[in-house]
Structure formats: C-alpha cells, structure tokens
Structure 1
Amino acid sequence: MLVDHEVPTVLGRIRVRTDGDGPAMLMWPSLLMDGDLWAAQAAHFADRFTVLVVDPPGHGGSEPLTGGFTFEECATVIEQVLDQFGVPRAHVLGNSWGGMVGGTFAALHPDRVGVSVLLNATASAAGRRQQIEYAAMLRAARLLGGIKPPLTRSVLRAFLGPTTLRARPDVVRAVRTALLRVDVDSASWAVRSVVPERPDQRELFADIRTPVLVVAGDEDATFPVSETRSMAEAIPGAGFVVIDGAAHLAALEAPYQVNALVDDFLAQQRPPGM
C-alpha cells in the first residue's frame, strides 16, 4: 500500500508515495499526469524494490508551481527526494517529461542512478507546431476553467492512440479523470518549461554512461517513434524498444509489456549494489 510523504525541494513541496522494500526505484510521470500513471508498475515492483512514486512539481498532491523551471532543477528534485529517504542510488522510470528528466539526472548524477527506463520521451527541442498546439491548449483550458470538454478530447488524442481509444476504456477513463484534476495555473508553468522552453539535450545525453533503455509507442503522436529513436541514438549504448498498440502513456496503456521490459532490462544489467 502506497504511503504519502511530503518532500521539500527546489521546486516546492513534492508528494512522494512509497511502498515496498529493497533497492530504490523512482517513477516520474508525464505532463498533466500524477503518480497514478505508474500504479501498475508500483504494484508490480513493490515486492522487490522500494518504489518512490513522484507527483511532479505542480501536479497531483505536490505544491502548485508559481514559475518556470529547468530540467537541471528537476534533476535536483530527484536528488533531494533520494536524500530525503536516505537512498544512495535509484533506478529511474520516466514517462515523457519524466523520461526527459530521467535522462538529465543520469547525465548529471551518474553516481545516484542504477538503470534508467525512459518512455515516450525526447532529447530534442520542441518544434514550432508542438509549441503552437500546446499554447492553444493552455488558452482553451484557461477559458474553460480547466481541461474540460471539448478540450478533453483533443488532449486524449494527443496522449492516447487509436488502439487505446478503441479497446481500453479503463485507460481512457483514468486519463480523463486525471485531466479534470489539473490545476491549470500551476500546470501552465510546467507546460511552458517542458514544451516551448525545452532545451535540446542530445549533447548532454552523450555523457550518459549508466544503462538506459528508451521505449517508444508505435502510436505516439506527441513524440513519434523516429523522434524517440533519435533520443536513444544520442545515449551511448542505450537500448531501444517500440511497443505496438501504445501511444504517449505506455506505462498506463501497456502495463504488462512495460513491466516485462523493465524486469528484463534489470536482469540483463544487474548494476552493482542494486
């Protein structure tokens, strides 16, 4: 059973939910999502690991954001969470925003990370089209007083692919529920920092020397397979896998496949001391 904690960080108070015992595994979700994105992974790994499920800055039970941030500050948040729990090193699972931050953390803090599994992420700066689309989404959300219909449909199509929209109603309900909980004023700072102000991290990621698996969804319209593959190619020795029938939230859409990929990658790498 996940237990709530509050952790003071450079980006405000962060809610971290913990379960299990053993080597640490930290999980950071996508923009507009909270730690519930990782429910299936937290349940799967808690019998062997101490899972640390993060509500990222400005989301879920974490303190609202009042300004923008850098990915380096997000990596510091991970470091501060590990310090709070007395954890010297952790495996890191990240989806989208979490995948980008997971790469930043691995590059800047190699002594604090075991393996990294980075899903539905990118190392590239945002293109003009993505900047325009997210700016329009935020304007609509402010006018509506939240991410509500008809805007919800547009966000669902950005996050979920045709397979999930057609055949996984439980996932659609979970994402719709999460979107309704979003604090638009707070999330807008995160969106601005992660989309239009996102840096190109490919040069930084070339410094990563710890094991990394990059995972794409073949139906991901936000970061297509080619873009996520480019991220993997920027990381020395990184593995790359595409999950069929998954889009931008693979951990939620295809939990059994993701759990199996993480299990297999951990078995192959066996980082010392973890």
Structure 2
Amino acid sequence: MLLAGVEDRYVETVLGRIRLRVGGSGPAMLFWPSLLMDGTLWSGQVAHFIDRFQVVLVDPPGHGGSTPLTGPFTFEQCADVILAIADDLGAERLHVIGNSWGGMIGGTFAALHPDRTGIAVLMNATASPAGLRQKFEYGVLTRTARLLGGIRGPLTGPVRDAFLGPTAKREKPEVVATVNDLAGRVDIGSGRHAVTSVVPRRPDQRELFQRIRTPVLVVAGAEDTTFGVDETEEMADSIPGARFVVLEQSAHLAALESPTEVNALIDDFLADQGDS
C-alpha cells in the first residue's frame, strides 16, 4: 500500500531489521499495529498527523518489510526495538500509539523508558495474561496455518472474525478488504512466533504498568471480542491517571475501523497535555 508523504527507512534492532514508513516533521509519533497486521494499519492517521508530527509507522518484528522472526520474543525486547527506533531518529522523546500488540508494547515502553515517552495511546489492548479461550483459539489458528503453509486463503476468515465486529463487516467493506489483504501477507513462521509470544507467553503486566507516569489514553472497542471492554478497562485501572474511552462501533482494530473518531481522541488528549 502506498502512503503519500512517507518514505521507507530501516533500523537494526535486537529483533532484526525493522522497516519504518516515516514522513513529516515535528515531535515523533510512533504507531505499532496488531498481530498479523503491518504499519499500513495506520493509513487513516498518516494524512491527519503528518503536517504536525514526524509520523513513524512500524512494521513490527516479523511482519511486513521487517526481518522474519527466528523465534519467540519478550515484551522487553519489543520495547528495546522502540528505543532503537527513537535513537535512530534522533528523537529525545516520542509519542507511542499502539493497537493490541502495539498497545501492550506501548505500555511496556512507557513503564521502562519514562524519560523517552511523550504520551501513550493504548488501543484494544490488555495487561493481563492470556486466558484458556484465547490460548485455544490462537493455537488452532497457528496449527492450521502451519498445516496449510500460510495465513492466506481459508485463514483470512478466522482472522477477520477475530478482529472485526458486526459494524465493520456490515458497513465497511474497505476495512474487511484491508484486514484480509494484510492477514494474507503474513509470513507463516514469523506469524507463529509472534502469536506464541503475544498470546500464550504474554506476561501479566498489571504490576509493571503501575509504574507508568506518562499521560496515557486507553481505548476499548465495544465490539471487541478479543479483548473485551472489561479487560481493557482493567488495564487502564492499573495505570495511574489513565483516561479510559470506549468506541461504540469499533472492534479490535479501532484506528482502521473508526479513524475519524480515533484521530479526534488523540488530538483532544494531546491538547489536554499541551502538545497539539
């Protein structure tokens, strides 16, 4: 997918070579997407923020144009990836915007590197370890993908059903098409390592998140069946002073499903912190 105003840039990190799409100038604003998605998940944010910020879209480890994964990873290593990106950009601080996996890592980075974090917007995420249902569902997904040799084809349906709610499926065919396309591009080996790291091996981060002192906005989707509103609100409750918002007609990919509403939420939160 071509995005106006951004150029590819590559950074060497502890989890391999990471592809970024970077454009604009001003304070750095980094976007990290969900599992099985790449940086283009944030296409609805690029045009809105690129005139005021240096927009940095991350293809996370093993996804998109980044180096394939060779094994599982830790959340601390993912935070180290963001730190390497910040250093490469020469950014003393950056705003971290994350969805699902990106939301979890945004919280990890804010807790471990408070001096390098501006605001954090954590969407459709959790601080809790995976429950039995999630371990089972994602285990079936990765086992089937391994048998079939990839995510494309029959598995776009399970990914679509896990990530999108009734509103997007009924009213937003372009969103459905984007999810199908991005899920179909995932390298199966990398996808398996990423799912293993983010689902069954996911740490309980609620105690760590109590250390966060940066301004945090937590966004839940009312239609999100992966991380329900209660689970995301529990994450918000673990972060001192966090603001919690529910988007009524969004599921697990709020920025893709409801870009106008998400952009307005980020704008308002930045304005409240005196950084707009």
TM-score of the superposed pair, with normalisation by structure 2: 0.97
Percentage identity across paired residues of the two chains:
65
In structure 1, which of residues 178, 181, 195 is the aligned counterpart of residue 199 of structure 2? 195
In structure 2, which of residues 67, 70, 73 is the aligned counterpart of residue 69 of structure 1? 73
- The equivalent residue for 2:246 is 242
- The equivalent residue for 1:31 is 35
Equivalent pair of 2:152/2:185 in contact (CA under 8 Å):
no
* Matches of 1:240 and 1:75, distance apart in 2: 23
CA positional deviation for 1:148: 3.0
- What amino acid sits opposite 1:20 in the alignment? G
The answer to whether 1:123 aligns with 2:138 is no
- What amino acid sits opposite 2:77 in the alignment? E
How many residues in Structure 1 have an aligned counterpart in Structure 2? 272
Task: Give SS of 2:109's match.
Answer: helix
Runs of 4 or more, structure 1, over 2 Å off, are 148-151
Task: Give SS of 2:265's match.
Answer: helix
- The equivalent residue for 2:101 is 97
In structure 2, which of residues 46, 53, 58 is the aligned counterpart of residue 54 of structure 1? 58
List runs of 5+ in structure 2 lacking aligned partners: none
* Matches of 2:127 and 2:238, distance apart in 1: 8
- The equivalent residue for 2:152 is 148
* Matches of 1:150 and 1:88, distance apart in 2: 44
> Cα deviation per residue 1:202-250 (whole Å; 9 max; x = unaligned)?
0000000010000000000100000000000000000000001100000
- The equivalent residue for 2:25 is 21
CA positional deviation for 1:155: 1.3
| RMSD (CA atoms) | 0.9
* Matches of 2:22 and 2:152, distance apart in 1: 31
- The equivalent residue for 2:170 is 166
> Cα deviation per residue 1:38-70 (whole Å; 9 max; x = unaligned)?
111122100000011100000000000001111
- What amino acid sits opposite 1:193 in the alignment? S
> Cα deviation per residue 1:87-121 (whole Å; 9 max; x = unaligned)?
10000100000000000000000000000000000
TM-score of the superposed pair, with normalisation by structure 1: 0.98
* Matches of 2:222 and 2:271, distance apart in 1: 25
- The equivalent residue for 2:136 is 132
- What amino acid sits opposite 1:232 in the alignment? A
- What amino acid sits opposite 2:196 in the alignment? R
List runs of 5+ in structure 1 lacking aligned partners: none
